[in-house]
Amino acid sequence: MQIIYILMFLSLWSLGLFVLFHRTRSNIWIGLTILLGGSASYTFSMHLSIMPWLGDAAWMPEFFSRALYLSTVVSMNIYYFVLPYVFCMGGLWLNERMSSRWKWMWSVLLLPVAMLLIVNRAREGALHIFEMAEFRWWDGGYIAVGCFFYILAYFGEKNELSRRGQRRTLLFPLVMIWAYTSDYVGFNHLELGWWSFDLRSNGMWQANFIVILGTVAAVLFFTIRYGFLGIKLRIERERIDYSIRTLTMGVSILNHSIKNEIQKIDYLAEKSRSLMKAGNTERAIQTMSQVHGLTDHLLHMVNRIKEKAEDVQLDESENDLRELLEDVISSSRGITEAKGIALSAFYGVEGRLICDEVHVRETLSNLIRNAIDALPPEGGMIELVTSATRKEFLIEVKDNGAGIPQEYLTKIFEPFFTTKKNALNYGLGLSYCTSVMSKHGGSLSVAESVPGKGTTIVLHFPRSRFKPASPAKSRFKWSKEGRLTPPANPF
């Protein structure tokens, strides 16, 4: 049991630091919630496991032993007087649909009571004694508000894929409710003595190890299997970037090897001609029928690998957004008209985009070709939609095709991954698109994909790369969420 107590705070602190390392503003608060949640486990581990195992540290220098004791007192005060506010902030900043202005307002409004509790606690002086009746209901208020914000973040998210991720964060309110019931309501009095403590409680806290270790295991499972708080996305992107760099280093050797084989095949083709001249027609025809098909296939593969895998070098310039998208649509119009596909653009914002025109056009063309392959035989539609937020400029590629299966969503940007049966598809298109967007300081993401209804893939550019046209020309305005919004879209 002593080892379990130690595992409790070590696992919480490790997980909290892991989340903080992959930080966004919402992740910072959630990471701090996990980290501070381990402070009580640390205190109990020191008093129940570590110091008794060390023989109450009688051999230890007094100043060091006293420092360790004070660290447990501070940790317990953090657990009771700081954690509830931090948990509340985690739920608040998880609300992506709420504007930053409202989030900052609520952060400030909720701060004074927490500060008063801490100041009043410091004035009392007996920081090692905890009478839960003095603060449990104030803490309960913060935890209740935090739970409300977590639930609001879930129900306020309209994007189905993002909402699935938000559903997993509801684990935190459940765990915090348990912690409040066992450690805030279940405790009546706690006094931290010199490596001992006097605790009056209902004993519910002794089951905390099951909840804590189970929570850590669940978060790690969600992170690895599905992605959690955006962490897997970043890990996957780093892994994909590494894969592309590795692919880039090996592509020259790959090209050289395959071209050598092609030269051999061409030699055999020449030899077959010699056989034909010598009158050995049957053998010559048999050789040519095998060789030329393989030659075409290998040459095509070499060009595709070299084109998609080599490191992207940007040649940036200012480009008129409408001209850029119309050129992309025009280049794809032949195949879309032949298949009866409606391809159009919807300009929520207009202006000029600082980018590499060639690579961005190729990226959009790749996405359009993928969309064409997924469309139904009749009634297929593809639309390019532009929009902007205060931080990003976005180009969405929407289709009403077959959608992407859930199990493939985390793999489609990997080099050589493809779901297409055609042998000429090498799974390099989306990894190339990812590399292009990374070079532009942006990213590529699947905003939505519903089987049988369609997919929306988004190109995210830094806002600094987009220069909007005058308001009179662009016909858009800022929304409360800080987004430049177009008029109603019939698509």
What's the pLDDT score for residue 318? Answer: 93
Whether 6 has a pLDDT exceeding 60, the answer reads yes
Annotate 161-185 with DSSP letters as a single string.
HHHHHHHHHTHHHHHHHHHIIIIII
Lowest mean pLDDT among 107-121, 242-256, 303-317: 242-256
What DSSP element (H or E) covers 478?
A: strand 477-478
Whether 446 has a pLDDT exceeding 80, the answer reads yes
**Mean per-residue pLDDT, 189-214:** 85
What's the pLDDT score for residue 249? Answer: 44
Structure confidence by residue, pLDDT tens digits, 11-56: 888 877 877 776 555 678 888 888 898 888 888 888 887 877 776 5
Q: Residue 225: how many CB atoms within 10 A of its CB? A: 10
Alpha-carbon torsion angle 144, 147, 148, 151, nearest 10: -160
| DSSP strand pairing (351-355 vs 483-485) | unpaired
Alpha-carbon torsion angle 231, 362, 418, 235, nearest 10: -10
Q: Residue 74: how many CB atoms within 10 A of its CB? A: 13
Count the helix, strand and coil residues of the chain and give each as a percent rounded to the nearest 5: 65, 15, 20
Provide CATH code, domain 317-485: 3.30.565.10
Whether 239 has a pLDDT exceeding 60, the answer reads no
Runs of H (alpha helix) within 22-135: 25-45, 51-53, 62-81, 83-93, 100-109, 111-124
Whether 231 has a pLDDT exceeding 50, the answer reads no
| DSSP strand pairing (196-201 vs 392-399) | unpaired
Domain boundaries along the sequence of the chain = 2-229, 250-309, 317-485
pLDDT band at 8 (very low <50, low <70, confident <90, very high): confident
Backbone angles phi, psi at 480, to 5 degrees: -65, -25
Q: Half-sphere exposure of residue 307, counting CA atoms within 13 Å on the CB side? A: 16
Report the predicted TM-score, pTM, of the whole model to 2 decimal places. Answer: 0.53
The span from the CA of 385 to the CA of 488, in Å, is: 12
Whether 208 has a pLDDT exceeding 60, the answer reads yes
